[in-house]
């Protein structure tokens, strides 16, 4: 059984064995992918058009637009529910990796400081390599533990630039 939370509020339990059951109610539905990539869904006699806007496998969230209304759905699979019941909910989350230099270069600007909380997508450092400026962005929400480089210093490939926690 899967648990789905819509927009952080509405919770649903869903199973399919062999028919779709949502909150202990059988759901009569069908869907077809349209040439545009959208989906046509018929559920309980009503027609809907749905578009998948975003899928984040790491956080197990999906953003859908259904009939011009946007929904964010968080999904808990059985293993997630088991781990939560054991008090180790975050055991399957990916470890946040330190930021390393992918190639030799020159650190132009450090945009973060130790102790700073950063969000996924935030710029953290600018590295010049092969006459191009490369902006490094956070791959996940994290806290900067240590900045191991200073501006205008050369770095080697694989060198740790910023340590995250």
Helix locations, 2-91, DSSP H: 78-85
More confident residue, 81 or 125: 125
Q: Rounded to whole angstroms, how far apart are CA atoms 114 and 143?
A: 8
Which domains are delineated in the chain?
Answer: 2-92 (3.30.700.30), 99-164 (2.40.50.100)
What is the reported pLDDT for 140?
82
User: Which of 127, 113, 114, 123 has its CA nearest to residue 155?
Assistant: 127
What is the reported pLDDT for 60?
87
| % of the chain with per-residue pLDDT over 90 | 61
- Positive or negative, the CA dihedral 51, 27, 71, 78 is negative
Q: Rounded to whole angstroms, how far apart are CA atoms 147 and 163?
A: 6
pLDDT in tens, 10-59: 899 999 878 899 999 999 999 999 999 999 999 988 999 999 999 988 78
Global pTM reads: 0.54
What is the reported pLDDT for 92?
54
What is the reported pLDDT for 56?
85
pLDDT in tens, 130-140: 889 999 998 88
Q: Is the pLDDT of residue 70 over 60?
A: yes
């Amino acid at each position: 059984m899967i648990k789905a939370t819509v927009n952080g509020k509405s919770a649903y339990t869903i199973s399919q064995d062999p028919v779709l059951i949502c909150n202990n109610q059988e759901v009569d539905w069908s869907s077809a992918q349209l040439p545009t990539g959208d989906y046509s869904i018929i559920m309980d006699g009503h027609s809907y058009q749905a578009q998948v806007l975003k899928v984040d496998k790491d956080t197990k969230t999906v953003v859908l637009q259904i009939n011009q209304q946007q929904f964010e759905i968080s999904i808990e699979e059985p293993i997630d529910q088991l781990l939560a019941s054991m008090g180790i909910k975050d055991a399957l989350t990916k470890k946040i990796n330190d930021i390393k230099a992918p190639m030799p270069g020159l650190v132009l600007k450090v945009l973060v400081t130790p102790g700073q909380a950063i969000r996924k997508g935030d710029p953290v450092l600018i590295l010049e390599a092969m006459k191009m400026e490369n902006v490094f962005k956070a791959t996940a929400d994290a806290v900067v533990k240590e900045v191991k480089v200073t501006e205008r210093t050369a770095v080697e490939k694989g060198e740790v630039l910023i340590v995250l926690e």
